[in-house]
Amino acid sequence: MIELKNIWKIYKNDDLETVALKNISLEIKEGEFVAIMGPSGSGKSTLMHILGCLDTPTSGKYFLDGEDISKMNDDELAEIRNKKIGFVFQSFNLLPKTNVLRNVELPLVYAGISPKKRQERAKEALNLAAFPNKFWYHFSNQLSGGMMQRVAIARALVNDPKIILADEPTGNLDTKTGEIVLETFQNLHDKHGRTIILITHEPYIAEYAQRIIKIKDGELIDDFKNNNRRIINNK
| CA 100, 30, 203, 190 torsion-angle sign | positive
pLDDT in single tens digits along all 235 residues of the chain: 999 999 999 999 888 899 999 999 999 999 999 999 999 889 999 999 999 999 899 999 999 999 998 888 889 998 888 889 999 988 888 998 899 999 999 888 877 889 999 999 999 999 999 899 999 999 988 999 889 999 999 999 998 898 999 999 988 888 888 888 898 899 889 888 899 999 999 999 999 999 999 999 999 999 999 998 888 764 4
Domain layout of the chain by residue ranges: 30-57+71-225
For the domain made up of 30-57+71-225, give the CATH fold: Rossmann fold (3.40.50)
pLDDT score recorded for residue 233: 62
pLDDT score recorded for residue 235: 46
Show the DSSP H helices in the chain as ranges.
44-51, 74-84, 100-110, 115-128, 145-157, 175-190, 203-206
